[in-house]
């Protein structure tokens, strides 16, 4: 699985980082994806983050 964040849309709320801290980082004020490939053990958390992102900024690309 791969995931992207649209930084034009991200509001920096941090829902994603709270759900999947090993995948998303918020130090820039918006979310960035820290991994090229989402580790299997974090896939469910990434799907939850995509579902719960308030601005729908998260896209699962593969
Ligand atoms: S949950 Fe969505 S809006 Fe909030 S920091 Fe993550 S990507 Fe950005």
Provide the CATH number for the domain formed by 3-60 in this structure.
Answer: 3.30.70.20
CA of 17 to the centre of ligand 1 (A): 8
Task: Give the pLDDT confidence score for residue 27 in this predicted structure.
Answer: 85
Output the pLDDT for position 62.
Answer: 86
- Note the pTM of the prediction, 2 decimals: 0.94
User: Atom of ligand 1 at shortest distance to CA of 55?
Assistant: 3
Indicate which residue's Cα is closest to atom 6 of ligand 1. Answer: 16
Give 3-54 pLDDT, tens digit per residue.
999 999 999 999 999 999 999 999 888 999 999 999 999 999 999 999 999 9
Tell the residue nearest (CA) to atom 2 of ligand 1: 53
Task: Provide the pLDDT for residue 48.
Answer: 98
d(CA 38, CA 44): 10
22-27, Cβ contacts within 8 angstroms, sequence gap of 24 or more: 23/49, 24/49
Residue 28: the pLDDT is 81
Q: Where are the domains of the chain?
A: 3-60
């Amino acid at each position: 699985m791969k995931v992207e964040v649209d930084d034009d849309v991200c509001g920096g709320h941090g829902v994603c980082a709270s759900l999947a801290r090993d995948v998303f980082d918020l130090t820039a004020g918006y979310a960035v994806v820290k991994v090229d490939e989402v580790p299997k053990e974090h896939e469910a958390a990434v799907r939850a983050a995509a579902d719960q992102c308030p601005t729908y900024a998260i896209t699962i690309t593969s």
